[in-house]
Structure 1
Amino acid sequence: MVRRAGIVAAVALCLLLSGCRPEAAGNASAPAPASPQPAATQPAAGVRLPPTGARFDYQLGGAYAPATGVAVVERDSTARPAAGRYNICYLNAFQTQPGELPAWKKRHPQLLLRHDGRLVTDPDWPDEVLLDTSSAAKRSALASVIGARIAHCAAAGFDAVEPDNLDSWTRSHQRLTADDNVRFAALLARRAHAAGLAIAQKNAGELGSRGRTEASLDFAVAEECQVYGECGDYTAVYGSHVIEIEYTDNGRAAFTRACAARGRIVSVLLRDRDVVPSDDRAYVSRWC
């Protein structure tokens, strides 16, 4: 299941085509104490993790000045980092970005996943085609393409990367496996760590500890884990190094419950589904 906003990445398209590197609210009630968590994640040498339990802002719908008290900001790779905050760079690493498909067809057609001769698309995001992680050779080639974007994030001044759609195997018509994607994630982690960046596991709680132990991912970004009863899948592996996002179109009860259960341990954010900028009337951003 995909539970994130789709962003058109002009900079990513530029990287894909030519390798260019462009220039780079209110609170809920106080939570109750949560149960003890596992030991803190140990990052790779030279890598800094996001502060635990800090106010987080998810700015994928467009960058804007963070609210007072926000310590961690996530923006698309096409945006600049927010000054004075811990910054996470969003990458669509397991599927094509909207608007990118012609470039992939031209430059890397062999890296697009096919089933019965047809491109495999995400049913919730039909303009996104799954990338083919099914062999070591293809994973290596993909790591070079996505690795250029990771390098861009580092050069732009981000502190971490969040490669989205780790769970793409679940919508691949059995053309991909969890093993394929974990192995590809490990290649991305190696590149992120070499660039001095932390790297997040995005969703895919069904992997258990494999994201951390096999792919060397450093922390988790989990969407709607309260709604789907998955939050323990992440805290069991990453302890307090979890960022949780709940969405307003599910109602606000899940956010309230999340704050009560984990609000003093992990970062919990309530956001509008389209993660619009703060000057949009639909904007919602709340913290425990």
Structure 2
Amino acid sequence: MSRKPLTVLAASAATLLTLSACSAANANEDRENRAGGPTTSRDTAAEREFWTPEPGTDWQWQLIGTVDTSVDVPVYDIDGFDNSAAVVDTLHSEGRKVICYISVGSWEDWRPDAGDFPDSVIGNPLDEWEGEQWLDVRQLDTLRPLMAARFDMCADKGFDAVEPDNMDGYINDPGFPLTKEDQVAYNLMISELAHERGLSVGLKNGVDQVPELVDAFDFAVNEECAYYKECGKVSPFIEAGKAVFHVEYEMTTEEFCPVTQPLGFSSLQKNWDLDAWRATC
């Protein structure tokens, strides 16, 4: 914001001090308005503190159907496109934090912004997921505004955080020669975009990227680390005081809870389609 210079021909020291204080207050108010709330001495996204769920925080993950708001947990993870601000408001009124599920590594032909993605960034289909194709995450300049718009939507609806999906294209068959370095650079951009909008952000799967990314993300979301015997790779989040929201599909709670409970994970058994059903440790 530009300000016109003040011309004071005969001002006392007290008057000058008053003007200085007012300018500082106005500058702070301007920062607060842009950030969506009061600021501290930390003004940049990299330095601000974001909601960081503690290890063991219970949660519900539902991506299809009308959200069942009756589950007595402090955190809900729901689809960002399919749910309105009213759903988020309802969950907030019951004291819940709400995470916005958004795919950042794939193009989905049913999403309202599908036509905004140029053909050059759309790669091979995801196995077993009809209508979904990998993105070329090397094209940061092209994908940045598209993902920024998605995160703007999450912020505008009042979500507290983002669950970015498909953050590990390089270990799949994306149709592009992606490297781990490409993926890490893209995922760091995703963290930055979320934080710029005041949103916390989770690392989805991507267990081999945890050493590089644990400091940039506020929690983790993991699928089937017990089934694949790799839960130890996600434990640095717990050691950093950050929740690991964990799900198994093929194993029962009797099978995986003895593995994940000692680690401090927030573990659920879910159906593959991620409806409202859940079983907990």
Normalization by structure 1: what TM-score? 0.71
The answer to whether the Cα contact below 8 Å between 1:49 and 1:198 also exists between their aligned partners in 2 is: yes
**Structure 2: distance between partners of 1:144 and 1:196:** 17
The Cα shift of 1:232 comes to: 1.1
Match of 1:87 in 2: 98
The Cα shift of 1:66 comes to: 3.5
Q: Which amino acid aligns with 1:175?
A: P
More relative contact order, 1 or 2 (CA 8 Å, 6+ apart) = 1
Match of 2:32 in 1: none
2:214 paired residue among 206, 212, 215: 212
Aligned-CA RMSD value: 2.3
> In the alignment, does 2:270 pair up with 1:286?
no
The Cα shift of 1:253 comes to: 3.4
**Structure 2: distance between partners of 1:126 and 1:169:** 20
Q: For 1:54, what is the secondary structure of its paired residue?
A: coil
**Structure 2: distance between partners of 1:72 and 1:266:** 14
- Which aligned pairs between 1:1-288 and structure 2 lie closer than 5 A? 44-62=47-65, 63-68=67-72, 70-78=73-81, 79=83, 80-81=87-88, 82-83=91-92, 84-100=95-111, 103-104=114-115, 107-113=117-123, 120-134=124-138, 138-171=139-172, 172-173=174-175, 175-213=177-215, 216-239=216-239, 240-241=241-242, 242-247=244-249, 249-262=250-263, 265-277=264-276, 283=277, 285-288=278-281
**Structure 2: distance between partners of 1:51 and 1:87:** 15
**Structure 2: distance between partners of 1:254 and 1:271:** 14
Identity %: 28
The Cα shift of 1:85 comes to: 0.5
The answer to whether the Cα contact below 8 Å between 1:220 and 1:238 also exists between their aligned partners in 2 is: no
Q: For 1:157, what is the secondary structure of its paired residue?
A: coil
Q: Which amino acid aligns with 1:91?
A: I
The Cα offsets for residues 228-247 of structure 1, whole Å up to 9 and x where unpaired, read as: 11111111244242111122
The answer to whether the Cα contact below 8 Å between 1:73 and 1:86 also exists between their aligned partners in 2 is: yes
Match of 1:7 in 2: none
The Cα shift of 1:98 comes to: 4.5
Distance change in 2, residues 1:44/1:228 (3 Å): farther
**Structure 1: distance between partners of 2:195 and 2:224:** 28
The answer to whether the Cα contact below 8 Å between 1:92 and 1:163 also exists between their aligned partners in 2 is: yes
**Structure 2: distance between partners of 1:133 and 1:94:** 7
Gaps in structure 2 of 5+ consecutive residues: 1-45
In the TM superposition, structure 1's runs of 4+ consecutive aligned residues that sit over 6 Å from their partners are none
The answer to whether the Cα contact below 8 Å between 2:77 and 2:101 also exists between their aligned partners in 1 is: yes
Q: Which amino acid aligns with 1:93?
A: V
Distance change in 2, residues 1:108/1:75 (3 Å): same
Bigger Rg over Cα: 2
Q: Which amino acid aligns with 1:133?
A: V
Q: For 2:269, what is the secondary structure of its paired residue?
A: strand
The Cα shift of 1:124 comes to: 2.6
The answer to whether the Cα contact below 8 Å between 1:227 and 1:254 also exists between their aligned partners in 2 is: no
Distance change in 2, residues 1:111/1:101 (3 Å): farther
**Structure 2: distance between partners of 1:203 and 1:128:** 18
The Cα shift of 1:44 comes to: 4.9
The Cα offsets for residues 85-138 of structure 1, whole Å up to 9 and x where unpaired, read as: 01111001100125249934x65222223xxxxxx111232421111112xxx2
The Cα shift of 1:168 comes to: 1.1
Deviates more, 1:142-151 or 1:123-132: 123-132
Distance change in 2, residues 1:44/1:126 (3 Å): farther
The answer to whether the Cα contact below 8 Å between 2:223 and 2:247 also exists between their aligned partners in 1 is: yes
The answer to whether the Cα contact below 8 Å between 2:252 and 2:269 also exists between their aligned partners in 1 is: no
Distance change in 2, residues 1:102/1:188 (3 Å): closer
